[in-house]
Amino acid sequence: MSVHAPASKSRRRHRTLQDPRGLADFVRNLQEGIYVTTADGRILDANPAFLRMLGVGSLLELRRFTADQLLIDPARRAQELQILARDGAVREFELEIRRPDGEVRTVLDTAHQRVDEATGEGYYHGILIDISERKRLERKLRDSAIRNALTGCYNRHYLHEQERRLDASGAPWGVIVIDVDHFKEYNDRFGHHTGDQVLQGLARFLMATVRTEDAVIRIGGDEFLILLHKSAAPATDEVANRLQELGPTAAPVSFSQGWAVKSEGQTLKRTIRRADRQLIQVRVRERRYQPPRAAH
């Protein structure tokens, strides 16, 4: 009987979650990250999957950091703690963490509040699920929906999204409408492949010239729109003048432009129409012809 007792106990251990050794094995082998932290963010314990998720080799190394130090936005943890204090638990709370090696990961945190009856100190037991790959695919799908495949610029779908958001916000904006000069002749004289190169080259020039917070949008065959967020007349004029100055030497092709800024109570669509009208006036006023050249 005594010879078979250890095997019997082992079988029982794997059949229940009440056995401490069996439960410890279960937690250790999970692919999800399990952790225990204090209310002030000190990490007390974690399973191997949690260490791998954070890119550290040991619990001792991990303990050099608090939860706040590992979060890109510590205010998100404050929000999570409010939910835990109110409800005692939180489920699938999305967080962005920056590992000690600098890599950013997106995780879902499910946690429960626990209180030491002897001391009254609070603890949190939680599980992290890494959804970084899913977020990357979501961003890729969104980019394919709002970006023009040929040029990499934003497309009209993105512009419609911005119309709804900006018209509701009341924030200022400026717009610059840009057309390639004599674009049809690029296609006629050099072929559609060269025409595509012209559009790609101009798109690169525009995206490199404007501010990072502004958007370059392809809105037609050879027509681009620069949407300058939170820009009044001086800032819009500055960008338009910079494009005009750099164009002859830095742009792959010649182009014409018109610009406008939001008037009181005006929609984005009407501002774009005003910029379009100015573009037409510029072309009529200049009345100059420059033969198309092969894109460089």
Q: In 3D, which of 65, 200, 67, 47 has the Cα closest to residue 127?
A: 47
Helices (H), the chain: 5-13, 20-29, 48-54, 59-62, 67-70, 74-87, 132-146, 156-169, 183-190, 192-209, 233-250, 268-286
**SS3 call for 148:** coil
What is the DSSP-derived secondary structure letter of residue 154? B
What is the DSSP-derived secondary structure letter of residue 147? B
Helix 268-286 crosses helix 156-169 at what angle (to 10 degrees)? 120
Q: In 3D, which of 81, 94, 91, 74 has the Cα closest to residue 122?
A: 81
Q: In 3D, which of 204, 219, 213, 191 has the Cα closest to residue 151?
A: 204
Rounded Cα gap, residues 228 and 259, in angstroms: 11
Q: Is 40 a catalytic residue?
A: no
C-alpha angle with apex 130: 17 to 86, nearest 5 degrees?
70
Q: In 3D, which of 245, 272, 244, 246 has the Cα closest to residue 259?
A: 272
Catalytic residue among 109, 179, 181, 222: 222
Q: Which residues are catalytic?
A: 222
